[in-house]
Amino acid sequence: MFARSASIALGIARRSTRKLLKNPLPGLPPMLIPLFMFAAFTGALSALSDTGGFGYYDYTAFQFVFVLYMASMFVGAFSAFEIAADYEGGMGNRLMLAAPQRLAIVVGYLIFAIARFTVAAVVVWAIALAAGLSVRGGPVEIAGLILLALLLNLATTLYGAGVALRLQSIAAGTLILLPLFMALFLSPVFVPREQLSGWLEVVAGLNPLTALMEAGRGLLADDPVSVGLAFALAGGLVLAFTAWAARGMRRAAAGPDAAPRRGPKGRRPQRA
């Protein structure tokens, strides 16, 4: 059974990769949107680094961590769109008939998301370094930063998978992307948390992405802060959204008529 499930997972990853290679346009937005914001923020807002209390060594590096995380999360979200499209077109139901362990289907899309993340990370790093990104962290710190981005990619893919499996429609895209934008922009994006004020400071303190942002920036600056907390939160998100995706798969497998209809006053209708 394990061999069968592994074969199905790899088959789904290969199929999704071939589709993307034949039509690469859907693979561009998860990279182009973060890179556009990287260019816009580092160009228009770099003067913020001269304000009192900024404290970070370079504004381009400060924004790079946000851009890397955004790219990793967007790649996960767009990989989940593939799930919604497959189920809307009927492919998902055929896959469930072939899979002895249906979570192998989700694993296949996760493999696809990791492959896309690898490409996106290489592109983002290459462009940032070409644009003059200053890196102070050593190989271990940079590996830690990339691993945090990978965990965010997995968590986002699993979250999107849960939404896509429940709705089984491309319309799920809005419900996948909107919370990501909110989580990202309610963290310290433009200035450190110490320079936030009012309700934004409170929300940023409650947002788990804040610890990941601060840890990633600390790793890039060779000044690690809250690294253990960041990995614990990222791992917790992966575990929580694994359960979310598993429940979504059970609901998809049960079908739209899984819940028995009830008659008047909550009674089950009598069978003829």
Give CA separation, 102 vs 19, 85, 201, 239, in Å.
Answer: 22, 17, 42, 18
- Whether the per-residue pLDDT at 202 is higher than 90: the answer is yes
pLDDT at 32 over 80: yes
- Which has more pLDDT, 3 or 151? 151
Give residue 153's Cα distance to chain centre.
Answer: 4
| Model confidence at 259: pLDDT above 60 | no
Task: With H, G, I as helix, E, B as strand and everything else as coil, classify residue 45.
Answer: coil
What's the DSSP call for residue 271? P
Q: Are 78 and 113 in contact (CB under 8 A)?
A: no
pLDDT-based confidence at residue 49 (cuts at 50, 70, 90): low
Model confidence at 263, in pLDDT bands (50, 70, 90)?
very low
Please report, for residues 3, 63, 91, 236, the alpha-carbon distance to residue 212 in angstroms, rounded to integers and kept in the order given: 36, 13, 36, 12
Q: What is the C-alpha to C-alpha distance for residues 98 and 253, in angstroms, rounded to an integer?
A: 12
Predicted TM-score of the model (pTM):
0.89
Which pLDDT tens digit goes with each residue over 103-125? 889 999 999 999 999 999 999 99
CA 251 – CA 166 distance, rounded (Å): 7
238-265 mean pLDDT: 75
